[in-house]
């Protein structure tokens, strides 16, 4: 299969805390797939496991596997994963704050590739960065930082971007722009995206498919329409309560259904 | 607003070396000054600048490791000693010529770089510093042992080096050789900085996680930084040994490491120009203090305790830089430059 396949991935922290218990998902080529869930549900762990950033101790992948174009990724060091075209845009610590924007963009080691041409593409995609090329990246606003992180990831020549919490702390207008850029990358450059989000409304707007992660398990998946129309997704992720205020009974009912899914 | 400035019309220009006419002008002016210098001052000051040149190679090397890659090393004096004693042993035991001993010093440096760099993969921050500090003591005890076994306690004498029929003797001929070597080392550092290697080092210094997420092989580039840096350091140590005419383990105290760290701090961490300026500044300072004590009306105890005064001035300056201009001489120079570039305005216009 072309694209990313995560099969029954398990991860344990410090040999004590189960972070992922059997996560399976697929990102076919040229698609945007959303992975949503609350804090601590294991979204970032999934991404780090795919990118090869779980160091083994104290965090480790203990079962299952990750395949990209039928090549096994888990067990490879992070730079080898990037070489195969799978690039992570981390949630925090994503830009080099004391370097300039241009230096940030040039930081990726893409040997034997036309970096100048790709830079031109990046600046075309993110025109906001052009006048700030020579300024220190630490002075950028949150939205510009995110653009810089995406642009820098593009310079690694990705075929799949793993985007972690892109919309965190950003204004709705900026979120909308960033999401449009993701769609442009998919359509123009053929890059598929695994989008990890808490902002479910925004994520489902651009995604072709969605997975909902809870306590290290995929509890529900489907097309955005299917997810949006599901009662419990509405209630607990989109905040469109059918019954008004959440009561204890609602929560109990929700837990029961969730157990049933899991 | 004046329509001035340097406009880049292609994205390739960002990768350029001689970026601006301003830089080209200063490089040419600096070269002219360097050639004119030894013919306009006394031999004593040429000697001081020669010492500064050797220090500059060492400071550039330390800057690669601390300034670019962000790995704090406290073993610098040890690596210098290793270079000096490679020369001392090869010349003292077998009287090998300089064109064999200098490459040998570089090879020793590379081997040491691997030895110190590989443990550095698992250590960060203060723990790494302690491990390099330990390396310093290991090297130092080895050379002290060598010195007491083979050469008496005074050290190894090294005759003036010779290539063909040409003997390096006199401050002026050393000056030109050393300037050429400093030029080569500077070019090496500048080119490393603008190549993928330097970019990887900077990325590792800033954030290791983001660096590995960009496809940078963090361990490989870290060891590489150690190897290149220690090789350059042992080279500087070997040159110093030839220049001084003898090697002695007593010359490589921990204070030497502190001096080199001060050079790159005062100059400006992570900057090539900073390492050069810092090396010059720190080397010339004690001589300037000596002159000042002779000329100025100071108490007589200052003259009898000259070393204490020198160390005191050194410490005060270092503290001053840390407190008031942590980004060093390079930043001060940048501010002066910006003042004239922007005149009569105070700030860069908003884009």
Q: pLDDT of B246-300, one tens digit each?
A: 888 888 999 999 999 999 988 888 888 899 999 999 999 999 988 888 888 878 8
Has residue A246 got a pLDDT over 60?
no
Has residue B346 got a pLDDT over 50?
yes
DSSP H helices, B3-97, are 21-36, 43-62, 76-94
Question: Number of Cβ pairs closer than 8 Å across A and B?
Answer: 82
Q: Closest-CA residue in chain B for A49?
A: B213
Specify the pLDDT at position A244: 54
Specify the pLDDT at position B1: 43
- Beta-carbon neighbour count of residue A222 at 10 Å? 15
Tell me, yes or no, whether A155 and A81 share the same domain. yes
Residues from chain B that touch A153, judged by Cβ atoms under 8 A, are: 214
Tell me, yes or no, whether A240 and A223 share the same domain. no
Tell me, yes or no, whether A242 and A138 share the same domain. no
Long-range contacts for A234-242 (Cβ within 8 Å, ≥24 apart)? A237/A36, A237/A200, A237/A212, A238/A200, A238/A201
Say if B298 falls within a structural domain.
no
* Structure letter (DSSP) for residue A233: H
Q: Could you say which of B11, B202, B212 has the minimum Cβ distance to residue A120? A: B11
From the candidates B214, B327, B350, which should be mutated to test the interface with A, based on the most A CB atoms within 10 A? B214
- Predicted confidence band at A209 (pLDDT cuts at 50, 70, 90)? very high
Q: Could you say which of B14, B202, B214 has the minimum Cβ distance to residue A152? A: B214
CA distance B237 to B57: 9
Q: What is the mean pLDDT of chain B?
A: 86
Give the pLDDT mean for B221-243. Answer: 94
Tell me, yes or no, whether A213 and A239 share the same domain. no
Total domain count, chain A: 2
Give the pLDDT mean for B302-310. Answer: 86
Say if B304 falls within a structural domain.
no
Has residue A262 got a pLDDT over 60?
no
CA distance B308 to B230: 31
Asked if A78 has any chain B CB less than 8 Å from its own CB, the reply is yes
B38 contacts B178 by C-beta, under 8 angstroms: no
Tell me, yes or no, whether A163 and A236 share the same domain. no
Say if B307 falls within a structural domain.
no
Asked if B211 has any chain A CB less than 8 Å from its own CB, the reply is yes
Say if B271 falls within a structural domain.
no
Asked if B124 has any chain A CB less than 8 Å from its own CB, the reply is no
Q: Could you say which of A78, A109, A123 has the minimum Cβ distance to residue B213? A: A78
- Predicted confidence band at B7 (pLDDT cuts at 50, 70, 90)? low
**Residue A53 to residue B207, Cβ atoms within 8 A:** no
Query: pLDDT for B61-98, tens place per residue?
Result: 999 999 999 898 899 999 999 999 999 999 888 888 88
Tell me, yes or no, whether A42 and A88 share the same domain. yes
Q: Could you say which of B209, B211, B215 has the minimum Cβ distance to residue A83? A: B215
Tell me, yes or no, whether A185 and A238 share the same domain. no
Say if B118 falls within a structural domain.
yes
Tell me, yes or no, whether A256 and A129 share the same domain. no
Specify the pLDDT at position B8: 64
Expressed as residue numbers, the domain containing B53 is: 19-252
Has residue A171 got a pLDDT over 50?
yes
Asked if A103 has any chain B CB less than 8 Å from its own CB, the reply is yes
Q: What is the mean pLDDT of chain A?
A: 84
Residues from chain A that touch B348, judged by Cβ atoms under 8 A, are: none
Query: pLDDT for B136-194, tens place per residue?
Result: 999 999 998 888 888 766 778 888 887 777 777 778 888 998 999 999 999 999 889 88
- Chain A segment 167-226 residues within 8 A of B by beta carbon are none
**Residue A82 to residue B213, Cβ atoms within 8 A:** yes
Tell me, yes or no, whether A45 and A139 share the same domain. yes
What is the SS3 assignment for A218? strand
B206 contacts B216 by C-beta, under 8 angstroms: no
- Chain A segment 122-161 residues within 8 A of B by beta carbon are 123, 131-133, 152-153, 156
Specify the pLDDT at position B39: 86
Say if B328 falls within a structural domain.
no
Tell me, yes or no, whether A147 and A256 share the same domain. no
Asked if A120 has any chain B CB less than 8 Å from its own CB, the reply is yes
Expressed as residue numbers, the domain containing A209 is: 3-229
- Predicted confidence band at A109 (pLDDT cuts at 50, 70, 90)? low
Total domain count, chain B: 1
pTM of structure: 0.84
CA diameter of chain B: 72
B158 contacts B84 by C-beta, under 8 angstroms: no
Tell me, yes or no, whether A165 and A195 share the same domain. yes
């Amino acid at each position: 299969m072309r694209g990313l396949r995560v099969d029954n991935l398990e991860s344990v922290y410090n040999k004590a805390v189960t972070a992922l218990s059997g996560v399976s998902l697929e990102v076919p080529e040229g698609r945007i797939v959303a992975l949503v869930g609350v804090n601590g549900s294991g979204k970032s762990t999934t991404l780090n496991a795919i990118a090869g950033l779980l160091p083994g101790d104290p965090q480790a992948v203990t079962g299952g596997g990750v395949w990209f174009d039928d090549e096994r990724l888990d067990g490879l060091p992070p730079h080898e994963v990037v070489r195969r075209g799978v690039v992570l845009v981390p949630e925090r610590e994503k830009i080099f704050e004391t370097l300039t924007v241009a230096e940030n963009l040039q930081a990726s080691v893409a040997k034997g590739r036309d970096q100048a041409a790709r830079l031109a593409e990046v600046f075309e995609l993110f025109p906001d960065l052009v006048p700030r090329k020579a300024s220190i990246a630490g002075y950028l606003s949150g939205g510009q930082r995110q653009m810089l992180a995406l642009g820098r990831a593009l310079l690694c020549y990705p075929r799949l971007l793993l985007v972690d919490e892109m919309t965190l702390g950003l204004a709705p207008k900026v979120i909308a722009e960033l999401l449009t850029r993701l769609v442009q990358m998919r359509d123009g450059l053929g890059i598929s995206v695994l989008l990890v989000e808490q902002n479910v409304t925004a994520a489902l707007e651009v995604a072709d498919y969605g997975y909902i992660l809870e306590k290290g398990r995929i509890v529900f998946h489907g097309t955005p329409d299917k997810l949006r129309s599901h009662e419990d997704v509405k209630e607990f992720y989109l905040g469109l309560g059918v019954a008004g205020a959440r009561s204890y009974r609602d929560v109990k009912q929700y837990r029961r259904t969730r157990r049933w899914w899991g | 607003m004046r329509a001035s400035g340097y406009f880049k019309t292609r994205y390739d220009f960002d990768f350029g070396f001689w970026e601006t006419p301003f830089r080209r002008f200063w490089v040419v002016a600096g070269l002219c000054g360097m050639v004119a210098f030894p013919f306009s001052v006394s031999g004593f000051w040429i000697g001081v600048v020669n010492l500064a040149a050797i220090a500059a190679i060492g400071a550039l090397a330390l800057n690669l490791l601390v300034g670019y890659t962000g790995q704090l090393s406290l073993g610098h004096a040890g690596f210098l000693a290793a270079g000096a004693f490679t020369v001392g042993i090869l010349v003292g035991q077998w009287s090998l010529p300089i064109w064999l001993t200098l490459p040998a010093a570089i090879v020793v440096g590379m081997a040491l770089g691997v030895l110190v760099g590989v443990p550095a993969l698992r250590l960060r921050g203060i723990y790494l510093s302690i491990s390099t500090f330990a390396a310093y003591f290991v090297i130092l005890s080895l050379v002290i042992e060598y010195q007491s076994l083979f050469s008496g306690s005074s050290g190894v004498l090294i005759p003036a080096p010779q290539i063909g029929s040409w003997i390096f003797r006199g401050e002026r001929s050393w000056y030109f050789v050393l300037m050429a070597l400093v030029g080569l080392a500077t070019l090496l550092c500048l080119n490393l900085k603008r190549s993928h290697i330097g970019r990887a080092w900077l990325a590792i210094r800033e954030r290791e996680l983001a660096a590995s997420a960009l496809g940078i092989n963090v361990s490989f580039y870290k060891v590489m930084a150690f190897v290149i840096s220690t090789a350059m350091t042992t080279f500087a140590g070997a040159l110093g040994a030839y220049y001084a005419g003898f090697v002695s383990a007593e010359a490589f105290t921990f204070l030497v490491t502190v001096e080199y760290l001060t050079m790159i701090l005062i100059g400006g961490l992570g900057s090539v120009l900073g390492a050069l300026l810092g090396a010059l500044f720190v080397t010339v300072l004690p001589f300037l203090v000596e002159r000042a004590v002779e000329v100025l009306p100071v108490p007589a105890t200052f003259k009898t305790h000259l070393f204490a005064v020198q160390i005191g001035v050194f410490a005060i300056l270092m503290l001053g830089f840390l407190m008031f201009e942590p980004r060093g001489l390079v930043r001060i120079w940048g501010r002066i430059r910006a003042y004239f570039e922007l005149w009569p305005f105070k700030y860069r216009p908003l884009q």
